[in-house]
Amino acid sequence: MQRVRPPVVIRLARLGDTVLLQPLLRRLHRRHREPCVLVALGDYARGLYEGHPDVARVIALRTQSGPLWLSPDRLRATRVLHELRDSPFYVCQNEPRFSTKVRPMLRLAGVPRDHCRFIGEMPTVAGEHEIDWLLRLGDCAPPAFPGARDTGVEEELTPVPEFPLADTHRIECLDWLGRRGWLGRPLVLLQPSNRRTMRWNGVRDAADDDKAWPAERWGALARAIAAQMPEARIVLCGARAERRHVEAIRAGAACPQLVSACGELPLARMKALLELAHSMVSVDTGPAHLAAAMGCPLVVLFGARWPSQWAPRGGRGSPVTVLGGLPDLSRVDALSVESVSSAWTSLARQLAAAAAVGSSPRTVRRL
């Protein structure tokens, strides 16, 4: 009888892509009867998956830059892959990074070709969501593991990412909210920045960023939300590097309810905050995917990407409203304040109606 070996999943990507990976990890855990070993990029990979029931171990690379022989980080990971070379490998890395970053690691680790399945081998399907593409990869076991092909896995109607949250993280978040004086108030989160917002020397020019929504529109949106929910705190979110950009939005908004948590949201606290927040308005970026996964009702603004492929999928019955995106719009700044405010108002009414009848149906709408 073949010994059960943990599946190895490789995906060197940003936060949003790493969130979208979770349904595949769940599927492979069930099929191979062992939690996965995940090779991923950045501290957020550990923050998302350490202690997750579908992941036995996280090998988090600090960077994928430079050649393999000059990267101690990747060489250490390669030694671990050598120890796991008899496992099934699912490589979720497309070109060009597969050839330049992942393939050299697999070769040096001595991973047999028939132990691997590669996302580049999966033909794309028009209109298919990224999660469903990944799951099709998971349904094709490597040739050396035919027994994993048909294990009677119960299919999910609409697979969504799921991330358990420890009570200690909930308590820490409540303590932080208490220190800020926000405890007990409805919290509406705004995520104005994405990873392309900031250059090394400041904010990227808006004309060079299809996901940028002008600062004055974020301020106008905050005032519209405050007028409808005056008891709320409207919280600007962002990484430490985005603080100047976020502070400029707050300072120019003329909205006392608008506050900033920029640089104060490590991943565990962010997950807890998303779990209890009233709602979030975000550009298409990693925190939006995490918000949907944590059940935070969401309005997400798309630029030059297809929502059919990249829209966040909401878990726990949470609604997700998508604005913009291809083929209709290719820039977020084509969206008016009125359209975004109207979408948030509609979302708030939906939440209030669901709360009144004690239910919370999950809906995904495209406006």
End-to-end CA distance of the chain: 54
Q: How far is it, in rounded angstroms, from Cα 101 to Cα 11? A: 11
- Which tens digit of pLDDT belongs to each residue from 167-209? 999 999 999 999 999 999 999 999 999 876 655 445 556 667 8
Q: What is the mean pLDDT of residues 9-15?
A: 95
CATH number of the domain within which 19 lies: 3.40.50
Its domain, for residue 301, covers 168-366
Contacts of 349 (CB under 8 A, 6+ apart): none
* Same domain? 205 vs 96: no
CATH number of the domain within which 333 lies: 3.40.50.2000
Structural domains in the chain (count): 2
In a domain, 154, yes or no: no
* Same domain? 186 vs 328: yes
* Same domain? 240 vs 317: yes
Are the CB atoms for 324 and 332 separated by under 8 Å? yes
* Same domain? 189 vs 322: yes
- Report the percentage of the chain scoring pLDDT > 70: 90
- Report the percentage of the chain scoring pLDDT > 90: 77
Q: How far is it, in rounded angstroms, from Cα 174 to Cα 183? A: 7
pLDDT of residue 1: 40
* Same domain? 67 vs 137: yes
pLDDT band at residue 346 under the 50/70/90 scheme: very high
Q: How far is it, in rounded angstroms, from Cα 270 to Cα 273? A: 5
- Which tens digit of pLDDT belongs to each residue from 210-240? 999 999 999 999 999 999 999 999 999 999 9
In a domain, 163, yes or no: no
- Which tens digit of pLDDT belongs to each residue from 81-140? 999 999 999 999 988 889 999 999 999 999 999 999 999 998 889 999 999 999 999 999
In a domain, 141, yes or no: yes
* Same domain? 182 vs 129: no
* Same domain? 276 vs 195: yes
Does the pLDDT of residue 361 top 70, yes or no? no
In a domain, 243, yes or no: yes
Does the pLDDT of residue 69 top 60, yes or no? yes
In a domain, 120, yes or no: yes
* Same domain? 123 vs 270: no
Q: How far is it, in rounded angstroms, from Cα 136 to Cα 132? A: 6
pLDDT band at residue 293 under the 50/70/90 scheme: very high
pLDDT band at residue 74 under the 50/70/90 scheme: very high
* Same domain? 180 vs 144: no
pTM of the model: 0.92
pLDDT of residue 200: 43
